[in-house]
Structure 1
Amino acid sequence: MSDKADLSKISLNQITTENWSLKEAIDGCERNEVPWISIWRHKLAEYGVKQTAAHLKQSGIKVSSLCRGGMFPAATKEERAKRIDDNKRAIEEAAEIGTDTLVLVCGPAPDKDLVQARKWVEEGIEAIIPHAEQHGIKLGIEPLHPMYAADRSVVNTLGQANALVQKYQSKQVGVVVDVFHVWWDPELAAEIEAAKGTILGFHVSDWKVPILDMFKGRSMMGDGAIDIYGMRKQVEAAGYHGPIEVEIMNQELWDRPGDDVLKLMKERFVEHV
C-alpha cells in the first residue's frame, strides 16, 4: 500500500505486553521508538500515579488513553454509586498522567435485564460528565463485540455508542472505534461517518480464524480477516487523526519478550494499518 500508516501515531496499548510492568512498558516504548502508550489502571496502581507521571515526563512518551472506566451497571444503588466514584477517580488519574481520554468499557447486566443495564450505563456516564469537564478529560465510549455482552459491556455496536453521544450533547463524550469489536457490523461505514468529530480513539488488532479464546483471541495485524487499512481510512475521513493503539490480548504474544513484540508490532503497523 502506498498510503502507509504513520509510525509517529503508533501507540502501545499496554495489554499487548501484559508481561511487562508499567515501568518496563514505558522504558520499552522509549527503547523501541514507540511514541505513545495507553495505560491500564491495574498497572498504574502497581507503579503509582505520581511515579508514572514523572517517568513519562522524563521519557517523553505520550499517553493516548487510560483504560478503563465504565462498568456502571450493578444490582444495588450503593454499588452503582461506588462505581461512579471509581470512574471519577479514573478521570483524576487520567488528568494526572497527561492523557485527555478515558476509555469506557460500559459493563454487563448484573442479571438478565439488558434494557435496565443500558439505562444504568446512560445514568452512569451522565453522572461523571461534570467531573470529566472539570478535569479536561474526554469519555470514550467503546462498543464491544456482542460476544462480550454477558460479561463486559451491554454497548455492542457503534450505533449504540453514537446514540449515547447524541443523547448527552457534551463535548466531553465521544466514541472509541476498535476494529476487533466492530468490523463485522453491516452498518459500520454509516456509523463511522455519523461519528464524525466525536471519535476519540482508534484501536487495531486482527480476527484470526478460528477464534480460540474469547478474551485472548486477538491476533497481530495481518493475521486475520479485518480490513484494518480500510477502517483507518474511514475514521480519518470522519476527522480522527490521533494516535492508533495496538491492543492485542494474546497469550502467545504475552509469552514473548516485549521488545520482540514491539518490533513485530511496528512492522505490521506499517504493512497493514
Structure 2
Amino acid sequence: MLRLSLNETTTFRWSFEEDVKHYAAAGIPAIGVWRHKLSDCGLGKAVELLEVSGLAVSHLHWAGGFTGSDGRSFRAAVDDAIDALRTAVELKTPCLVVYSGARAGHTLNHARRLFRDALAELAPVAEEMGVDLAIEPMHPACAKEFTFLTRIDDVIEMIQSVGSHAVKMLYDTYHLGQKEACVKRIPEIAHQVALVQLGDARHPPTSEQARCRLGDGMVPLGAIVRAFRAAGYSGDLDVELIGEELETIDYHQLIEHVQQAFERLVATP
C-alpha cells in the first residue's frame, strides 16, 4: 500500500523537532529525514522523538559527493556515507538517498569510475545493514552541484555495473516526470526504484528548483502514481516541495494541501 511521506526540505524553516511535532499532529505517517536538520537536533534525541511520535522514516537524505565536487576527498565522502548508513539503521529507515557528486573537472568516464568505486565499497555495507542506496538522477538544468547522472539509463547502467540488490534508484517526478519517455519507462524500472518522490512544476526546471504545490503544475502525477502502482511499487511517496513560490506559504496549510493531493492521487483508479 502506498504511504505518504513528507520530506523535511518541504518545511525548510522548521527545525527537526518542529517537523516531527507538526507532521505527527497532522497525521502524516512518514518523514523523510534531512541530515542537516538531524545534525542540529542530535541523533539520540531524534530517535527518541521519532519513537514517541510514531512517525516512520521513509529515507535519509543524503550522502554523496564522491567526485570531490564539494571539496572532500573520495575517502572522506565514502566514510561519511558509511556513517550515514549507520544513522539510517538507528532511524530504522530502509533507504539512503545518494548523489554521485558533480563532474568537478573530471572526464565523464573518470567521474563514473569514482562513483562506481564508491558504490562497490558501500554496497556490501548496505546489504549487511538492510538499507538500500537510492541513486537520484536530476534534470540537467539543476543537477550541476549534485550529480552528473541526468538520465534513467545512466542510473540503470550504474546499478547493473555494481551488481548489488542494495543499489537502486530514486524516481523524482520533478526531475523525471516532465519527460513523457521517462513516464513510459516506469513499468520497466519500477522494480529497481527504492523511493518515489513527488514534486510538481509550472515549467521545466531551470538552474534553481522551482516546485509548486502538487496538482498546480504540469507534471502528470496521477499517471505516474498509477503506473508505479500497476507495476507493483508499494513503497513511500515522499513529497518534496522546494522553490521560491513555496517559501512564503504557511506550512500547516501546505501540509493540509499535500494530504488532500495525496488522497486524490492514490484514489484515482
TM-score between both structures, scaled by the size of structure 2: 0.91
Q: Deviations over 1:82-131 (max 9, x none)?
A: 10011111111111111010011221111152232122111111111122
Alpha carbons 1:16, 1:254 under 8 Å: kept: no
The 5 Å alignment of 1:237-256 reads: 237-256=230-249
Number of residue equivalences: 266
Same amino acid, percent of matched pairs: 26
Aligned residue runs from structure 1 range 55-204, under 5 A: 55-74=49-68, 79-111=73-105, 113-189=107-183, 191-204=185-198
Q: Tell me, which stretches of 5 or more residues in structure 1 are unaligned?
A: 1-5
Aligned partners of 2:37, 2:249: CA distance in 1, in Å? 19
1:269 and 2:262 equivalent? yes
The answer (yes or no) to whether the contact 1:132–1:172 under 8 Å persists in 2 is yes
One of 216, 235, 259 as aligned partner of 1:223: 216
Aligned to 1:3: none
Counterpart of 2:252 in structure 1 is 259
What root-mean-square deviation, in Å, do the aligned CA atoms of Structure 1 and Structure 2 show?
2.2
In 2, the alpha carbon distance for the partners of 1:253 and 1:32 equals: 19
Match of 1:224, SS state, is coil
Cα distance in structure 1, aligned partners of 2:247 and 2:69: 34
CA contact (8 A) 1:222 1:272 kept: no
Q: Is the 8 A contact 1:221 1:272 kept in 2?
A: no
Q: 1:222 to 1:272 in 2, by over 3 A?
A: farther
Deviation at 1:165, TM superposition (A): 1.7
Give how far 1:242 is off. Answer: 1.0
Aligned equivalents of 2:101, 2:72: Cα separation in 1: 16
CA distance in 2, matches of 1:149, 1:252: 20
CA offsets, 1:43-84, max 9 Å, x none?
A: 010011111111111110000000001221127998011100
Change (3 A) 1:264 1:75: closer
CA distance in 1, matches of 2:257, 2:70: 45
Do the aligned partners of 2:178 and 2:220 also contact (CA within 8 Å) in 1? no
CA distance in 2, matches of 1:214, 1:73: 20
2:9 to 6, 15, 38: 15
CA contact (8 A) 2:171 2:197 kept: yes
Letter of the 2:74 counterpart: R
> Take 2:187 and 2:156, find their aligned partners in 1: how far apart are those partners?
10
Is the aligned partner of 1:209 residue 2:203?
A: yes
Distance 1:128 1:85 in 2: 9
CA separation of 1:267 and 1:78: change in aligned 2, threshold 3 A: closer
Whole-angstrom CA distance in 2 between matches of 1:104 and 1:141: 5
TM-score w.r.t. length of structure 1: 0.90
The answer on whether the counterparts of 1:70 and 1:87 sit within 8 Å (CA) in structure 2 is yes
State the AA in 1 paired with 2:127.
Answer: E
SS at match of 1:16: coil
Cα offset for 1:9? 1.3
